[in-house]
Amino acid sequence: MARPHGRMNSGEHRRVALVTGAARGIGAATVLELADRGWSVLAVDIASDDPALPYPMGSKSELVAVATEASSRVSRVGAVRPFVADVRDPEALRAAVAEAVDTWGGLDAAIAVAGVIAGGDPLWEMPIERERAVMDVCLGGVMNLARAAIPALLARPEPRTGRFLAVASAAATKGLPLLSAYCAAKAGVTGLIRALGAELGGTGVSANAVSPGSTDTEVLAETARIYHLPDAVRFGGQQPIGRLLAPAEIASVLAFLAGPDSSAMTGAVVPVDGGLAL
């Protein structure tokens, strides 16, 4: 019989994950979901605003609150820890990986959720600093985490079950006007995951991604502002299920991919989009 919710047998080591973009949205929901399943988690976020972007990022207080709530669900002091790092900084991510390994003895999953959005202008008119912020966080941040985390995933003894995961988007395959940099970055994530899946073949470590549709997050709220909409709710009508997705719905798929039951999957981009890509 399968273990409910991917929980551990008594003989297994406690699995360890690192999650970026953890202060809110899909990242926060992923930290909470993993904690519910008994994982130890390093919750990573920049926890400060970016002057190149016109909307607020997650805060340090939000990050600490997520880690505190997640730890309470595991009922182990220090089971989930906050860590402030910018995914654009390779050294900061290497430090985060080292923190997870030093604290819990290894790393079993690295989950790149951190993302930002900017737009409102055609590409040739978009301020270069906004374009760079989107590309450097949404694509560069995933690549930086892969460089930092995959060696730690490979350091686990065989047979390995490491997982490198990323959040792409339906925007990876749909051309969205006034969001060209975001579309390009997310398409890059899907290509990166396919390449990593091939590169990691035979190691026991896999690479997969989820591709969310319109999800009730601050990124979607900013998208509504870009399109001069009063709120993000109407995006739900574009999806066959007729509503916005909840961050927890994306997180549950990421948690499945992080666990042992996804052993037959690598290089996959899983749509969790309410049918938006149909």
Instruction: Report CA Rg, the chain.
Output: 18
Strand order in the sheet with 40-45: 80-84, 40-45, 16-20, 109-112, 163-167, 206-212, 268-272
Q: What is the pLDDT of residues 244-265, one digit of tens each?
A: 999 999 999 999 999 999 999 9
Per annotation, catalytic residue among 104, 182, 235, 256: 182
Q: Write the burial class of residue 176 (CB in 10 Å: 0-12 exposed, 13-18 middle, 19+ buried).
A: middle
Query: Are the C-beta atoms of 266 and 207 separated by less than 8 Å?
Result: yes
- The whole-number pLDDT of residue 77 equals 77
Q: What is the pLDDT of residues 112-146, one digit of tens each?
A: 999 999 999 999 999 999 999 999 999 999 999 99
Token reading at 41: 């988690």
The whole-angstrom separation of Cα 143 and Cα 188 is: 10
The CATH class for the domain spanning 14-272 reads: alpha beta
The whole-angstrom separation of Cα 189 and Cα 137 is: 11
Q: Which of 57, 212, 227, 250 is nearest to 137 (CA)?
A: 57
The confidence band for 277, taking pLDDT boundaries of 50, 70 and 90, is: confident
Q: Is 227 a catalytic residue?
A: no
- The whole-number pLDDT of residue 74 equals 87
Query: Are the C-beta atoms of 121 and 225 separated by less than 8 Å?
Result: no
